[in-house]
Amino acid sequence: MKIRLTGTGTSQGVPVIACDCKVCKSKDPKDKRLRTSAIIEWDNLKYVIDTGPDFRQQMLQADIHSLDGIFYTHEHADHTAGIDDIRPLYFKMKRPIPIYAHPRVIEDLKKRYEYIFTNVNRYPGAPQVLPFSPKAYRSYFIGGKEIIPLLVKHGPLDIYGYKIDKMAYITDAKSLPPKTKELINNLDLLIINSLHRKKHKMHLNLEESLALIDELKPKRAILIHISHYMGLHSEINPQLPDNVELGYDGLEIEV
């Protein structure tokens, strides 16, 4: 299984509009962060986690020509606003694209993008999706892989992370329920959010992320959903524990 991080930034991305900080002005490609998303591939199948505002750019950069489905973590715009850009893939493949999400998220998408979901007076230029609403911890199988939606607390909001084999992808977490922690102990790879160093009401900061990683003991951990306030990649990455690294756009991992 291969994971490509197509975006590792927060809701504003990095650089942030109108910001002159050293991170936003950095020339290092690892300090340029699109909104957080990933592509997961196995056995000629390709799945995307989230379709944020940079989805079009991310698919072009990764040279994606087909898509077997989308796993949504939650309904916030930085994770869903690019859904309309699945159109070229839908037109090329000539089949609806499955989407998997918390039931609340499916309902939210239906309200905001009614033209994609409706069968009444359907606009011929709209993409078509097949929505599925798996319950948290209720596993399902795709192409021989067990997919487990993990309950994650984004502040007070229930959202999903995803476990596939010995890998888990979690973004926008502030805390994890005990059952989620139990399921992701001793992974080969944990991908998890780490906003910056200061405390935040809705997101793990660096101290909290590292403490959680130390508790869960993955062989390798990669930090995502990173703000410009975190600092330069070249300065922060060497300070991290041996099994932890800052993710960056375009990073590919084999699991």
Task: Give the residue among 251, 253, 173 at the shortest CA–CA distance from 213.
Answer: 173
Structural domain count of the chain: 1
Which residues neighbour 212 within 8 Å (Cβ) at sequence distance 6 or greater? 176, 192, 204
Q: Model-level pTM greater than 0.95?
A: yes
Distance in angstroms (rounded) separating the CA atoms of residues 141 and 120: 31
Distance in angstroms (rounded) separating the CA atoms of residues 28 and 46: 29
pLDDT tens across the length of the chain (255 residues): 999 999 999 999 999 999 999 999 999 999 999 999 999 999 999 999 999 999 999 999 999 999 999 999 999 999 999 999 999 999 999 999 999 999 999 999 999 999 999 988 888 899 999 999 999 999 999 999 999 999 999 999 999 999 999 999 999 999 999 999 999 999 999 999 999 999 999 999 999 999 999 999 999 999 999 999 999 999 999 999 999 999 999 999 999
Task: Give the residue among 188, 200, 134 at the shortest CA–CA distance from 161.
Answer: 134
Tokens representing 85? Answer: 């850009």
Note down the domain range covering 220: 2-254
> What CATH number does the domain containing 27 carry?
3.60.15.10
